[in-house]
Structure 1
């Protein structure tokens, strides 16, 4: 029984372009790009080319792109650096209730240091309340606003354009966490900071992106470092960065066709699960959503037991919160939406996902859920 990997929103399988670029860069990109000798200059050319490739995909300037050690590191640098750069404006961080845990943890650090945080609610589909957002960013003392481009957990696309317009009117910079969107769907403009994670688009782990638009006030929250224009510490993993850029370029080129294919598979999952599994709630916006993510919750089923049963049948899925699934704590995203948090399953598909894998999942899921419910007498 071949395994079916349905957790691309956490880490997508490596794109062939990433593998090819990584192997080539291991031979030619091992030297320090900050030095002046021949091998170092070759490394520098590779780093500059990777930065230019990412900038072209995102429609920004190459010198606005910073490579970090991970997507989490990029978020921490963007949040804490954005707040530090706006100390004179105030100390309030505005964020939605469904931000990734990396934003939540940065916010905790900020409030522990004396800052404040304003959480903006979302509706039952997982979309931020724009009226509450406008009021929050317009409040005196707001230094930075953070909005995820689309929910990692349920796939609902956020109204970035409208949120950015409210921030612009209030003179507040907007940070967009686009980790789950980059390479899959276009990210609307209007933001001043943007973050991403290579492993979510089929690049290697250990590479994150922070894009800082020109004119945006930002002060590094870390000790000074000469690399990446002082915006990220430590020697860059150049082969991984080259692979990340190559894979982003590749998935961006494939995105329209893949979005159509995967969206059709997600529609099939949404319809079939609703028709074949009793007492199930399919969450997130059914239309204005990411093409590859679908989440549902099964009443009377323990999430950990369901995840383990699916794993035994060869299905790799997420359960619990998308960003804290190792703890299997109730999802803060689902709780903020006011939907069922137990027996939660998230499928996130990728370029290697086949219709046959999805059909096998849909055929086996009703029996698996029924067996688990029978075990607890339901």
Structure 2
């Protein structure tokens, strides 16, 4: 099937480059190639471009420019943000509280560090409650060094009340994975460090953001590097950073209008699929990301659903958002007590419209019926 005939509904992992980012990226390739540490003309120009990208990001997210660090990915930003807070709190404790629905990047970082952990359970809609955090704090046998609670879940779209959770934590610093929400929702208050990923908002892949609050105790958990920004390592990709900043600025400017349009489309999907036999819509019905919806289909395998819908021209996701290529059962859905197989995750991009959603909803009942017939139902 031609690219023009396809309907991409997996923007969480494959949002096309925002037009604003494309224009800036092409222009910056000829200007931002030099090492920003150098004192010659090309180096000084590169430093100015890097500082400009940092300034645009800071303005878009309502943070300080010196709180912004560009990383090579959202995953690296998660690792640096969380482990940096943990290392800085070594004298206060070692325990890390984390929600049961955190991205695998959080779990991998904590296993690598060998840190003791305690899991905060979630509700049936995937919500981290203030009461659950309070209970986990009280139950910890050792002092808690840091907590990790995402702003919004990558798989089901549930948005957590970060300021309330931070208030409950008191002196314990909070790391927030905001990769799924930045560009879609305003950045919440209450975090000591946060992470974001440019490709989620239409920036280029290979650019992440590490945000560390001014005054927060953070120590680099990895070998130091003699760079412009002491929280980063390696040569900054300045053209990509500029493109990411441009895309973020554009997304924030259209955030309300785009969010309202996508939220209406998602509500249409939620209502339509909930009416289908043996299909469960998961996640918070209202306290959620505007562009993402997940539903689970009984008696149908996720891999077969993805491949059959792809054959018809619909690009959707299934399995865990962390390991979708392997279609591994989702630890997020398991933590919610939901069906872990046969799930479909739609994430709407900027170009998704009523026609695209209507086409999917028209095709889905027939696909489910065929696949269930194959297994004798």
SS at match of 2:157: coil
Work out whether residues 92 and 144 of structure 2, in 8 Å CA contact, stay in contact via their aligned partners in 1.
yes
* Deviation of the 1:248 alpha carbon: 0.3
Asked whether 1:147 is paired with 2:149, we answer yes
The gaps in structure 2 that reach 5 residues or longer are none
Q: What is residue 312 of structure 1 aligned with on the other side?
A: 311
Asked whether 1:203 is paired with 2:203, we answer yes
Q: What is residue 162 of structure 2 aligned with on the other side?
A: 160
Q: What is residue 41 of structure 1 aligned with on the other side?
A: 44
* Deviation of the 1:228 alpha carbon: 4.4
Distance of 1:229 and 1:24 partners within structure 2: 24
Q: What is residue 371 of structure 1 aligned with on the other side?
A: 370
Distance of 2:79 and 2:6 partners within structure 1: 35
The gaps in structure 1 that reach 5 residues or longer are none
Show CA shifts across 1:42-69 (max 9, x none).
Answer: 1111100000011111111111111101
Show CA shifts across 1:302-356 (max 9, x none).
Answer: 1101110011011111100111101111100000000111110000001111211
Asked whether 1:6 is paired with 2:9, we answer yes
Distance of 1:136 and 1:284 partners within structure 2: 22
Q: What is residue 235 of structure 2 aligned with on the other side?
A: 235
SS at match of 2:236: coil
Match 2:106 to one of 96, 103, 108: 103
Match 1:17 to one of 20, 26, 40: 20
Distance of 1:251 and 1:326 partners within structure 2: 28
* Deviation of the 1:292 alpha carbon: 0.2
Deviates more, 1:139-148 or 1:48-57: 139-148
* Deviation of the 1:163 alpha carbon: 0.4
Distance of 2:75 and 2:321 partners within structure 1: 14
* Deviation of the 1:214 alpha carbon: 1.3
Q: TM-score, normalised by structure 1?
A: 0.96
Work out whether residues 37 and 228 of structure 2, in 8 Å CA contact, stay in contact via their aligned partners in 1.
no
* Deviation of the 1:130 alpha carbon: 2.1
Q: What is residue 82 of structure 2 aligned with on the other side?
A: 79
Q: What is residue 189 of structure 1 aligned with on the other side?
A: 189
Q: For residues 1-378 of structure 1, what are the structure 2 equivalents within 5 Å?
A: 2-111=5-114, 115-137=115-137, 139=140, 140-167=142-169, 169=170, 171-275=171-275, 277-378=276-377
Work out whether residues 77 and 221 of structure 1, in 8 Å CA contact, stay in contact via their aligned partners in 2.
yes
Work out whether residues 11 and 201 of structure 1, in 8 Å CA contact, stay in contact via their aligned partners in 2.
no
* Deviation of the 1:370 alpha carbon: 0.6
Distance of 2:285 and 2:214 partners within structure 1: 36
Distance of 2:61 and 2:137 partners within structure 1: 26
SS at match of 2:30: helix
Work out whether residues 129 and 165 of structure 2, in 8 Å CA contact, stay in contact via their aligned partners in 1.
no
Q: TM-score, normalised by structure 2?
A: 0.97
* Deviation of the 1:104 alpha carbon: 1.0
Work out whether residues 274 and 280 of structure 2, in 8 Å CA contact, stay in contact via their aligned partners in 1.
yes
Distance of 2:287 and 2:300 partners within structure 1: 28
Distance of 1:228 and 1:247 partners within structure 2: 23
Work out whether residues 319 and 328 of structure 2, in 8 Å CA contact, stay in contact via their aligned partners in 1.
yes
Work out whether residues 66 and 228 of structure 1, in 8 Å CA contact, stay in contact via their aligned partners in 2.
no
Distance of 1:29 and 1:103 partners within structure 2: 32
Work out whether residues 67 and 228 of structure 1, in 8 Å CA contact, stay in contact via their aligned partners in 2.
no
SS at match of 2:51: helix
* Deviation of the 1:78 alpha carbon: 0.9
Distance of 1:18 and 1:137 partners within structure 2: 43
Distance of 2:129 and 2:41 partners within structure 1: 55
Work out whether residues 137 and 145 of structure 1, in 8 Å CA contact, stay in contact via their aligned partners in 2.
no
SS at match of 1:285: coil
SS at match of 2:164: helix
Work out whether residues 137 and 166 of structure 1, in 8 Å CA contact, stay in contact via their aligned partners in 2.
no
